[in-house]
A and B are shown apart, each in its own frame.
Chain A
Amino acid sequence: MALPELHRFTLPNGLRVVLAPDRSAPVVGVSVHYDVGFRSEPEGRTGFAHLFEHLMFQGSESLEKLAHFRHVQSSGGTFNGSTHPDYTDYYEVLPSAALERALFLEADRMRAPKLTEENLRNQIDVVKEEIRLNVLNRPYGGFPWILLPPVLFQTFPNAHNGYGDFTDLENATVDDCAAFFDTYYAPGNAVLTVAGDFDPEGAKALVEKHFGDVPARPVPSRPSFAEAPPKGELRAEHTDKHAPMPAIAVGYRIPDPVTEVEGYLAYLVLAGVLTDGDGSRLQQRLVHRDAIVVDVGAGCGLFGPLEARDPDTFSITAIHPPEVTSEQVLAAVDEELLRLAEEGPSEQELAKVTARWVSTMHREHDRLTSRTLGLGSAELLFGRAELLYELPDKLAGITTDEVAAAAKALRPDSRAVLTLKPASGGNE
């Protein structure tokens, strides 16, 4: 794949900037990734990074509450933000005439957000509604992204609920917000990405104009969140009062995507061999041959591949009828992993996964939102935005032996198994 044009520079205040011009459509994407996610939350403040993300939309020295939304939308744009284990992102995608406005909006809240008691209380209510919507009132809510980490991991940063519990959210204070902002939202702790329809020289001048006078602040040194893989099989059970059928999630540890990217990517290929398409190993075995699950999926990272630093998770999840036991599902998964470990996948299986990845990457790049966010997170987490464009070739370089070795490393004696039970036992 041809490498698109990428420009990068760092402002004197430490802000890293990635420019990715592409004139094929008259739209532009702007994102800011801050190097803080829910792994950095202290104990007693679960959900704080995400709550804080909400507050960053609530006004600044230059813009009253609600003005941010109105300015983006009245410029014809869309916006959002999201909180991950290792970063928080903010973005706008707009007609290219609005580029300077988007840069102004991101610079303005990086410089002087208004953190008020009224907005904090309001957004605590909104976040609680978000949690009710996505977790508490919904079958399989938080499965497996909230429920699996506390089984697989032992330390608070890796194991706790990133959405937060209601008591912790309610206890948040404006002073907590001020401390969080001053610590983690320094320009030197962020990456600004601009992708789409613009002239690089003009965009660079606008970036300097708007972000140049955000004062530099010390950048926190990121602690290591490393912890040892499990020394045995860890088990837990969760009761879901809304779920009509049982489910299972199996979590394994995988190589550090920063220091062992090829090792990590072997698991990405393995995930494709296992569950991508009707011909994949687990679809064939569990859905079509044994017919013991309704659906099965596998993947790297609980937020998607290459979306977190070490330690990261490989997971296999399935929903199954109550007459099938979780042990039956697990035994079939283990058999298929063993077969892959011993015989390896065929060349054709790898060719399928590689071709679908090339195509998927093109499709992601064609959506400006995904491209902007992908470049920004790759630059922030790995220091290499171009990794995004190199992935297809790197994936094509993964060998059958490497995939076999990855399958072999998914050992029953070093994993987490979470079973989800319906409150009714699955019988209505």
Chain B
Amino acid sequence: MSAPTKHRSAEEIGRTELGPRPFPELGEQRAAADLDTVDTTLANGLRVLAVRRSSVPLVEVRLRIPFGDPAASSVGSTHAARAEVLANTILTGTATRSRVDVDTELALVGGELDAVVDPERLALSGNALVSGFETVLDVLRDVLTGATYPADEVERERARLVERIRLARSQPNVIAREALQRHLYGDHPFAKEMPEAEEVAAVTRDEVLALHASAVLPRGSVVVVVGDVAPDAAVRAVEAALGGWTGEGTAVALSPLSPVRGGDVLFVHRPGAVQSQIRLAGRGLERTDDRYPALQLANLVFGGFFSSRLVENIREDKGYTYSARSHPEFTPGGATLLVDADTASEVTAAALLETRYELGRLGLVPPTESEVDTARRYAIGSLLTATSSQGGLASFLMNLAGLGLGVEWFTGHPGRLADVTVEQVTEVALEFFAPTAFTGVLVGDAELLTPQLRALGGVTLP
């Protein structure tokens, strides 16, 4: 390289007169302040969870409405398509506000509000300067109780949605995710995260209005408020705004899934791919299960963070991947363990082999005391950092609320992690991380991958 005329060698750079230095001990950890919180249910059935965090003069609002397909199978059901159009148009008009009015009013209080839907829930997420809290709640009230779904907005968003679905389906991770969900759950509505373009194109405004009337319901739904506002006052404000939101029945939760069972990995051909998506899945445990904290630590040791066996093997030792990870996903009535890695075509089969090797090794050569302690301290510390902002805390509590849990689960979790023993981790590792407990999909170019995958076995090839 041309820049310097004279420089030290790499060996000289890596050496000092004093030599290696001792790594410092941890200092004294200050406890997080107790959370000031209220968790209550309004007369209309809406649960409200309010937490004060006053680090900045903002407020975060999350509304989660269970939004499952009441049908047992997604075959022949247009729920996903209607739900998608609803989510994309619910904020486009009411009796008193146009789409631009909604945006303008929120912007003037430094706010925003978005709606997204997935097979489990419709979520409306917003935030604003705390001085605009009532504005956000009023817009929320207005769309929940009086969204008009203007015909021209429905028509345009429907057309745009068709294009956005096409864009999404060109992304390798989306292709892999859709294939995995179908492979694991078949026609269960949980597997249908994105409707077909032609289903969306056929959705009418009347169908969207009907879906809103039948499914946008307060009973079973939850609002989380986190911000620079006293919890009692936040609950009163939510009640004043949303107390009049009513509807027959309870918002629809998805029916439970059958647990994932191990089996061959399904190969999915993507012509011209220079990299493959490896996506494995096995059964996990719900957050409320007694063995969940042990499984959380076993998962971290396997592939749940950078200092894990999988990352150290296939990234830091072999250079097969930029990112590999394993993580739990909480599903209706259960949980799934997911293992993801993207690897160059030439090393895909080798990376799959190493991933299976590490799955087997976790049970057979159990985590050491030191591995478990590293995972434990990471689990406790990262919970602290991830929830140290208002937005992070609001999203975390929203996810807990979706599982029927509250702040006490969050505050009690460090203690549960502290109590896990190495034996408990060893036991769940053998049961849940056995290679035979996993199945999955592998997306890549069949022409390049078939010979190696056939030799490796355990992969259903085209």
Q: Which of A75, A96, A115, A133 contacts B323 (CB under 8 A)?
A: A133
Q: Which residues of A contact B409 (CB under 8 A)?
A: none
Q: Which residues of A contact B275 (CB under 8 A)?
A: 129, 132-133, 136-137
Q: Which residues of B contact A93 (CB under 8 A)?
A: 385
CB <8 Å contact, A291 and B156: yes
Q: Which residues of A contact B20 (CB under 8 A)?
A: 61-62
Q: Which of A115, A213, A291, A366 contacts B160 (CB under 8 A)?
A: A291
CB <8 Å contact, B378 and A178: no
CB <8 Å contact, B10 and A116: yes
* Alpha-carbon distance A12/B25, docked complex (angstroms): 27
SS of A interface (majority): helix
A13 sits at the interface (CB 8 A) = no
* Alpha-carbon distance A212/B377, docked complex (angstroms): 30
CB distance from A323 to the nearest CB of B (A): 11
Interface residues of B (CB under 8 A from A): 1-4, 7-10, 12-16, 18-21, 23-32, 54-58, 99-100, 102-104, 106-112, 127-129, 156, 159-160, 163-164, 166-167, 169-172, 272-275, 305-307, 312, 315-323, 342-344, 373-374, 377-378, 380-382, 384-385, 388-392
A-B contact count (CB 8 A): 276
CB <8 Å contact, B110 and A126: no
* Alpha-carbon distance A183/B4, docked complex (angstroms): 6
CB <8 Å contact, B384 and A26: yes
A379 sits at the interface (CB 8 A) = no
- Chain A interface size, as a band, is 35 or more
Q: Which residues of A contact B389 (CB under 8 A)?
A: 363, 366-368
Q: Which of A116, A136, A139, A183 contacts B170 (CB under 8 A)?
A: A139
CB distance from A168 to the nearest CB of B (A): 11
Q: Which residues of B contact A22 (CB under 8 A)?
A: 55
A244 sits at the interface (CB 8 A) = yes
Most A CB within 10 A of own CB, among B31, B127, B323, B382: B382
CB <8 Å contact, B26 and A98: yes
Q: Which residues of B contact A366 (CB under 8 A)?
A: 55-56, 58, 389-391
Most B CB within 10 A of own CB, among A76, A138, A276, A353: A76
CB <8 Å contact, A181 and B56: no
CB <8 Å contact, B170 and A244: yes
CB <8 Å contact, A138 and B172: yes
Q: Which residues of B contact A197 (CB under 8 A)?
A: 30
Interface residues of A (CB under 8 A from B): 22, 24-27, 40, 42, 45, 48, 60-63, 65-66, 69-71, 73-79, 93-101, 104, 108, 111-116, 121-130, 132-133, 136-139, 174-183, 197, 213, 220, 241-245, 276-279, 284, 287-288, 291, 294-295, 319, 321, 348, 351-353, 355-360, 362-363, 365-368
* Alpha-carbon distance A174/B1, docked complex (angstroms): 10
CB <8 Å contact, B381 and A76: yes
CB distance from A73 to the nearest CB of B (A): 4
Q: Which residues of A contact B31 (CB under 8 A)?
A: 26
CB <8 Å contact, B104 and A348: yes
Q: Which residues of A contact B171 (CB under 8 A)?
A: 138-139
- Measured CB to CB, the nearest residue on chain B to A48 is B1
CB <8 Å contact, A355 and B27: no
CB distance from B234 to the nearest CB of A (A): 18
| 7 pairs, CB–CB < 8 Å, chain A vs chain B | A24-B54, A25-B388, A73-B374, A132-B275, A139-B170, A362-B129, A363-B389
Q: Which of B21, B56, B315, B378 contacts A76 (CB under 8 A)?
A: B378
CB <8 Å contact, B317 and A126: no
* Alpha-carbon distance A42/B392, docked complex (angstroms): 41
Q: Which of B128, B306, B342 contacts A129 (CB under 8 A)?
A: B342
CB <8 Å contact, B166 and A245: yes
CB <8 Å contact, B160 and A133: no
* Alpha-carbon distance A327/B110, docked complex (angstroms): 35
Given contacts A113-B14, A179-B3, A197-B30, 7 further A-B contacts (CB under 8 A): A42-B3, A65-B316, A78-B382, A98-B381, A126-B322, A133-B322, A367-B392
8 closest pairs, A vs B, by CB?
A76-B381, A125-B319, A359-B110, A352-B107, A97-B29, A182-B7, A74-B374, A130-B322
* Alpha-carbon distance A174/B8, docked complex (angstroms): 11
- Measured CB to CB, the nearest residue on chain B to A243 is B170
* Alpha-carbon distance A296/B29, docked complex (angstroms): 46
Q: Which residues of A contact B29 (CB under 8 A)?
A: 26, 95-97
